Amino acid sequence: MKKSIYGILALVFLIAVGGYYYATFPPINIHEPMFWGTLLVICIALAVIFGLRSLRGMTGRGGVHLSDVKKFPLLAKFFLTLAVLVVVIYIGGSVAGSTIFRARTYASLMPVKNYEFSEDIEESNKVTDIALMDTESARKFGNRKIGSLSDVVSQYEVEADYTQISIQGHPMKVSSLKYASFFKWWNNRGKGIPGYVKVNPINSEAEYVPLEHGMKYVPSGYFNDNLQRHVQLSYPTKIISGYHFEIDDEGKPFYICPTMKPRVGLFGGMDVNGVIICNPVDGKCDYYAVDQIPAWVDCVYAGKLLTKKYDWFGTLSGGFWNSIIGQKGCKVTTDDFGYKIIGDDVWAYTGVTSVNGDQSNIGFVLMNQRTSEAKYYKVSGAEEHSAMESAQGAVQEKRYKASFPSLINVAGQPTYIMVLKDSGGLVKMYAMVNVEQYNIVATATSQTEVFAKYRKMLASAGDVETSEENLKEKTVTVESVQFVDTEDGTMVYVKDTEHGVYKQAFKDNEDLIRISAGDVLVVEYEQLTEDQNEIHQIRNFKFAGDGEAASSPSPAPSSPSGL
C-alpha cells in the first residue's frame, strides 16, 4: 500500500480521536474504565490500519485465521498485542476490586461510630437547622421567583438541581440559572449567566441574586463555555464525579467538582480524594486535596455516595457470602435522605433498616458531607415512608403530600418532623410523628403550634411530663371570648386587655364557657407565636364585679385545667 494512503488513514484517525476526545472529554487515568475502553478501540483501529494490506490478502482467501496473524506487519502485531494486554489488565483490575474478594475492605471505607440519641442530639423546640423543604418544592419556589422577572425569564431558566448548603449555621438551597436553549446561549454568551437563586427551606422564601459579572463557564454552556469540558480539560488526568453549585460566605458563586480515586483494586470503591473549585465568571480552577478544602465548601461527599458507602459497611462487614446467604447483621439505608446543619457543616440523614425490607427502622445515620464522618443511632421504630403516610392520614381530606422527614429530639423522644404540601408544592402544614409510636401524630399550620400540640400528646400518653421550662404564668384581664369551630373541634380564644390571645380546646375544658369580658384569670400557658398562647391550666379567677378571687381545682399534669 502506498505511503500516502497510510498518511491519509493516519490523519483521519487522528481527527476522529481528537473529535471524540473533545466531544466526550474522558479522564486520562488508568483508574477510569472508560480510559481502557477507549484505549482498546484505538489499539484495534491502529492494528487494522497497519495490517490492512495483509488483511486484504487474507480475506481474499476466504477469511482470517489465527495462523495468519504471524504474517501481520510488526506495528500491526504490536498494537494487537497491546489490545490483548488492555483486556487482561481491565479484567484483572476488575476482579481485584470485586466485593467477593475484598468485602471487608469495602466495609472499612466508612468508619461508623455508635452514639446515644438522647445524649448526642440536642432537644429541639423549633427547627432552624433542618431543610424541611425538599428539592421539588424548592424548584417550584425558584421558578416562581424567576417568573416574576421578565428580563430574566425570557432568556434563562433555573437549574433543576439545588445544592443544600449552610449559611451562618442555617440551611439554604441554591441553584444557578441556565440558558433556555442553544440559541439563547449564542445570543447571551458574551454576558453570561446573570445570577442565581436562593431558597430558604425553613420559611419558603426565594430570592434572586443578580451578579455584577455574569457566569461564563456553566453546565448549560456549549463548546468551550461548557463547565464540565472546561474543568476536565484543565485537569485531564483527574476523575471528576459531577459538579454542584455553591456560594461562599460573601455570596460569590462557584462550582464544586469532586475528584475520585479507587480504594479497592484498580476500579473498586471509588471515593473522593479532593475537589476542583471553578470560578464560573473567569474560569479559574483550583484543586484542593480532601484535607485542604476551604471551610465554606459544604458538599464534598454527595449524599448518594455517602449512603452507598454506608451500605457497603452495613452489608459487607460480615463478609461477602454472609451478605448473600445468611445476611446476619446486614442493614441498609432507606431510599432517600434529608439534611441537617450541625455547627457549620451539612450532614445527610437517613434511616437504617434490615435487608429484609420490612416497614421499620432499626436506627438512623448522620453523615458529614465535608468529612464523610458517620454517626449511627440505634432508634427502633417506624420507617420514614410509614411516618409520611401517618402524617398524610391525619389530614387525608386535604390530600396533602408529606416531604421526606428528618429526625429530631423532643423531650428525649425520637421524632420525625416534616412539612405537608398541597398539589402546587406550597407548604401548608407541619407534621410531627413519634418514631416508636407512630400513631402519635401532630399537625399544625406553624412550627411553634405543632411542637406544642406534639408535646401535649406525649404528656397525655404518659411518655413525658410537660416541661416546666416552656410554661409561663400571667394574670390577665379578659377583653373578649370567642368560640371558633375548626376541623379539630371547637376552640376557645380568650383575648386579654393587652391584646394577647390564649386558646384551649373546648372539649378539654368545658368550664371555659363561664368566662366573660372583665374576668381576671391567672393563666399558666405555653407561648405558640408572638401573640398567641396555649392554655395549660387556669389556677384561679375572679368574675367581673366580684370582690374576691375563687380558686380552681388543680388539674392532672397531663391534662388541661378546668376553671
Please give the radius of gyration of the chain, using alpha carbons only, rounded to the nearest integer: 32
Residue 510 resides in a domain? yes
Residue 7 to residue 49: CA distance in whole angstroms: 10
Cite the beta strand spans of 267-362 per DSSP E: 268-278, 285-289, 331-333, 338-342, 345-354, 360-361
Q: How far apart are CA 434 and CA 454, in angstroms?
A: 9
Residue 312 belongs to a domain: no
Closest CA to 523 of 485, 560, 486, 489: 560
Same domain, 18 and 48: yes
Neighbour tally for 335: CB within 10 Å? 13
pLDDT attached to residue 540? 67
Give pLDDT < 50 ranges for the chain. 548-563
Query: How many angstroms separate the most distant Cα atoms in the chain?
Result: 124
Q: How far apart are CA 190 and CA 290, in angstroms?
A: 34
Asked which of 413, 430, 461 is the last residue of a domain, the reply is 461
Q: Which amino acid is it at 480?
A: S
Query: Are 166 and 259 found together in one domain?
Result: yes
**Domain annotation covers residue 408:** yes
What is the reported pLDDT for 514?
87
Q: Are residues 172 and 218 in the same domain?
A: yes
Separation of alpha carbons 209 and 198, rounded Å: 7
The answer on 218 and 149 residing in a single domain is: yes
Grid cell at residue 171: 440551611
pLDDT at res. 51? 79
**pLDDT given at position 464:** 61
| Same domain assignment for residues 293 and 155 | yes
Residue at a domain's end among 70, 96, 122: 96
- Asked whether residue 87 falls in the same domain as residue 196, the answer is no
Identity of the residue numbered 43: C
Closest CA to 316 of 306, 305, 300, 327: 327
Neighbours of 555 (CB within 10 A): 17
Q: Are the C-beta atoms of 175 and 162 separated by less than 8 Å?
A: yes
- Other CB atoms within a 10 A radius of the CB of residue 401 amount to 19
H helices present in 97-195, as ranges = 99-107, 117-120, 135-147, 150-153, 182-188
Angstrom distance (rounded) from CA 118 to CA 413: 8
Give helix then strand counts, H and E, for the chain.
14, 29
Same domain (yes/no): 266, 200: yes
Kindly state the cell numbers that stand for 519: 374576668
Residue 59 structural domain: 3-96
- Rounded to whole angstroms, how far apart are CA atoms 392 and 420? 8
Comparing CA positions, the residue from 77, 25, 82, 439 lying closest to residue 239 is 25
CATH of the domain at 494: 2.40.50
pLDDT at 560: 39
- 561 closest CA partner among 525, 517, 516, 518: 525
Provide the pLDDT for residue 368.
97
End-of-domain residue from the set 461, 488, 522? 461
User: Does residue 277 belong to any structural domain of this protein?
Assistant: yes
Are 457 and 476 contained in the same domain? no
3-class state of residue 373 by DSSP? coil
Kind and range of the H or E element at 409?
Answer: strand 406-410
Question: Would residue 316 count as lying in a domain?
Answer: no
Q: Identify whether 270 is part of a domain.
A: yes
305 SS3 class = helix
Together in a domain, 229 and 155: yes
180 shares a domain with 83: no
Asked whether residue 557 is assigned to any structural domain, the reply reads no
Q: Number of C-alpha atoms within 13 angstroms, CB side, residue 173? A: 29
Q: Indicate the number of domains in the chain.
A: 4
Residues 6+ apart with CB under 8 A from 505: 488, 489, 490, 491, 492, 560
Asked whether residue 455 falls in the same domain as residue 480, the answer is: no
CA atoms within 13 A on the CB side of 422: 6
Q: Residues 258, 140: one domain? A: yes
pLDDT per position as a tens digit, 258-317: 999 999 999 999 999 999 999 999 999 999 999 999 999 999 999 999 999 999 999 999
DSSP string, 216-251: -SBTT--GGGBHHHHHHHHSTTSEE---EEEE-TT-
Can you give the pLDDT at residue 96? 94
CB atoms within 10 A of CB 382: 24
Domain annotation covers residue 353: no
